[in-house]
């Protein structure tokens, strides 16, 4: 073998090749190996991260609760308001994770970095838009929601601080979804663990004014949240720039605005965001209908919904794994392996939800008693709702995994159409039976179960047609 030095032309080629290589060795190649192990490897850290995020919200609510019912109401209503603004984040988020995972699976690291950077820039500017809209219209939203003057004042104090931090918040979302796109699920867990611990420490200090800290009340809760989210942003940037993940970003990628890439991201994300917007609107209307049955039914519904939230953690964890696996395998030109990943994920979540649901149905009375302090009216209604929900959750888990497959492939239109039509039919049936025919609340829980069954069946048939495999090919990214 020749020991002669490289020519200038050869040196340039070597440099270009090195730029294309990831900064660290890929610890898990998701396009080969045991699929079920990959699902578990990806899902467990995501589930842990979701648990941390749930804890984050509970800690906030615990300390805000010390300020009285008006403060609790202010933060709760803000949650509804922010849910509407999160749609802006989803427009970009779904498209970016689809492109990131597909390009990373294809080992096209340059385009992977480009998508991450363009998503980051795009979300920052969208975050600025949300900040302006939030500061201008937050009081109007509280009034529209029917809040008292005290709640409006407290809510405005919370909102004016929280909305200032939205550009950082949205950019932080970009970084954590980028980790998921490349299959590094542990980094978001470490980041949110740090962020949650900081929030737990800061909340009482800033809300109550312990030691040298000023007593800021509800403003302190907002400051703690913004600061904790800034930690997510800073740590995410540090990990990507230092190469302590599967790919290393260079600053130059963040100083080039490329509208064509922003359009590609948004084109994928718009249908998914629209579907979420329709679904959120319908569920908001559903909440108002449930509320018409009185305090006991609404309380039972609220408690049951939160109990079911714990079962959703493994479902969402596996669904996130599906998005990454489908994206990377489609990018690697392995659509059949992508389909196999979805079916194995559905098998896994069906077992989990069936076991959890059976236990919950069996011990529904005991579980409801924990949250109701022995109120039999709420317990009896809650048992009925929970037993319908545990049937529904199996169909939901199937639908979510199929939806995640479409999102991972970038073919986001079919889930949007199916979800919008099925949910619209469901709420129409509920309005007809409850509002017009004056039937009991039983018909609401029945409609929810049947609609989820129908949705799972329809999306299954569309999935099996396989067009998502063709549309997901990188040659079709235009």
- Give the pLDDT confidence of 186-224 residue by residue, as tens digits: 999 999 899 989 998 999 999 999 988 899 999 999 999
325-345 confidence digits (pLDDT tens):
999 999 999 999 999 999 999
156-196 confidence digits (pLDDT tens):
999 999 999 999 999 888 888 899 899 998 999 999 899 98
Position 16 pLDDT exceeds 50: no
Mean of pLDDT over the chain? 86
Position 131 pLDDT exceeds 60: yes
Q: CA 461: distance to chain centroid?
A: 25
Tokens for 86, please give them.
């999160």
Report the distance separating Cα 412 and Cα 406, nearest Å: 6
> Among 226, 280, 259, which residue's Cα sits nearest to residue 87?
280
Tokens for 317, please give them.
């964890």
Tokens for 197, please give them.
């611990």
Position 22 pLDDT exceeds 70: no
Position 65 pLDDT exceeds 60: yes
Q: At what angle do helices 218-242 and 186-208 cross, to 10 degrees?
A: 150
Position 8 pLDDT exceeds 60: no
Position 369 pLDDT exceeds 80: yes
What is the pLDDT, as a whole number, of residue 6? 43
What is the pLDDT, as a whole number, of residue 454? 96
Average pLDDT over residues 90-102: 88
What is the pLDDT, as a whole number, of residue 374? 66
The DSSP 8-state label assigned to residue 45 in this structure reads H
Position 94 pLDDT exceeds 50: yes
Average pLDDT over residues 296-305: 77
Tokens for 362, please give them.
């069996």
Position 154 pLDDT exceeds 60: yes
Position 283 pLDDT exceeds 90: no
């Amino acid at each position: 073998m020749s020991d002669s030095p490289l020519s200038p032309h050869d040196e340039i080629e070597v440099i270009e090749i090195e730029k294309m290589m990831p900064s660290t060795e890929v610890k898990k190649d998701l396009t080969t190996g045991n699929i079920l192990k990959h699902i578990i490897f990806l899902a467990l850290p995501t589930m842990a991260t979701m648990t941390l995020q749930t804890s984050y919200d509970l800690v906030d609510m615990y300390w805000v609760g010390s300020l009285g019912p008006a403060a609790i109401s202010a933060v709760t209503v803000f949650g509804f308001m922010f849910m509407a603004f999160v749609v802006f984040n989803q427009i970009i988020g779904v498209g970016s994770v689809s492109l990131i995972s597909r390009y990373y699976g294809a080992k096209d690291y340059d385009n992977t970095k480009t998508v991450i950077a363009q998503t980051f820039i795009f979300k920052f500017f969208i975050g600025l838009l949300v900040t302006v809209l939030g500061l201008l219209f937050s009081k109007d939203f509280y009034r529209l929601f029917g809040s008292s003057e005290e709640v409006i004042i407290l809510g405005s104090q919370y909102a004016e601080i929280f909305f200032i931090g939205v550009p950082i918040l949205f950019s932080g979302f970009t970084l954590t979804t980028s980790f998921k796109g490349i299959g590094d699920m542990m980094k978001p867990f470490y980041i949110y663990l740090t962020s949650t611990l900081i929030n737990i420490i800061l909340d009482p200090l800033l809300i109550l004014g312990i030691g040298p800290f000023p007593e800021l009340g509800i403003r302190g809760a907002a400051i703690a949240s913004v600061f904790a989210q800034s930690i997510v942003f800073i740590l995410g940037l540090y990990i990507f720039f230092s190469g302590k993940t599967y790919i290393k970003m260079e600053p130059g990628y963040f100083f080039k605005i490329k509208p064509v890439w922003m359009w590609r991201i948004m084109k994928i994300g718009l249908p998914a965001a629209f579907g979420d917007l329709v679904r959120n609107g319908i569920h908001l209307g559903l909440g108002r209908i449930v509320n018409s049955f009185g305090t006991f039914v609404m309380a039972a519904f609220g408690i049951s919904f939160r109990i079911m939230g714990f079962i959703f953690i493994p479902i969402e964890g596996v669904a996130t794994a599906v998005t990454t696996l489908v994206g990377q395998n489609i990018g690697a030109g392995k659509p059949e392996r992508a389909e196999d990943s979805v079916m194995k994920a559905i098998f896994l979540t069906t077992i989990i939800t069936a076991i959890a649901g059976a236990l919950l149905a069996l011990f529904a009375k005991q579980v409801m008693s924990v949250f109701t302090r022995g109120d039999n009216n709420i317990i009896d209604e809650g048992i009925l709702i929970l037993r319908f929900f545990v049937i529904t959750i199996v169909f939901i888990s199937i639908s979510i995994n199929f939806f995640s497959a479409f999102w991972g492939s970038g073919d986001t239109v079919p889930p949007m159409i199916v979800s919008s039509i099925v949910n619209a039919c469901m709420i129409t049936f509920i309005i007809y039976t409850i509002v017009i025919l004056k039937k009991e609340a039983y018909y609401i829980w029945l409609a929810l179960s049947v609609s989820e069954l129908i949705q799972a069946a329809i999306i299954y048939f569309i999935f099996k047609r396989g067009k998502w495999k063709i549309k997901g090919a990188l040659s079709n990214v235009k």
